[in-house]
Amino acid sequence: MARRHSHRHGKSHSSRPPSIISTQWINYNAESVESIIVKLAKEGHSPSVIGVKLRDEYGIPLSKKLIGKTVTEVLEKAGLAPPIPEDLANLMTKARRLQAHLKTHKTDKKNIHSLELLEASIHRLSLYYKRTDALAKDWKYSAQVAQLA
């Protein structure tokens, strides 16, 4: 039986449609949006949470369209960018939670395999960020799977 839809599982390879709508209805200028981003970062919010707050609370759909920079670029300019990219930090947090689970449940084979896959994706993503100079070339994630077994 053939599949009918190409995007049945997830949104991979999807992109935003080209926007021809102007941002004239937004009441903020570029400087005020940048100051809002810096203020939210100083409150301790991550770049993705800042984007959601800009959308939901301030009515700014895309900061890049309005100010010409992404939230992370604004944070880098202000010196508030996170030291590790957010997606890599989220994967590392997930790995720490899984390692804590495996310390109490040593025979959980399914989650041992999940940790192996997770650490492989951390390794691949870190190679990408080293190549694009978002991480230091000597940055290394220590795999915990071998230590748990």
- Boundaries of every domain in the chain: 30-78, 86-148
How many C-beta atoms lie closer than 10 Å to residue 98's C-beta?
20
Write the pLDDT tens digit of every residue in 18-50.
665 566 778 888 899 999 999 999 999 999 999
DSSP string for 45-61? --HHHHHHHHHHTS--S
Cβ neighbours of residue 72 closer than 8 Å, sequence gap 6 or more:
47, 81
Return the amino acid letter for 44.
G
Class of domain 86-148: mainly alpha
Could you tell me the two tokens for 133? 């100079």
DSSP string for 78-135? HT---SS-HHHHHHHHHHHHHHHHHHH-TT-HHHHHHHHHHHHHHHHHHHHHHHTTSS
Write the pLDDT tens digit of every residue in 97-146.
999 999 999 999 999 999 999 999 999 999 999 999 999 999 998 876 54
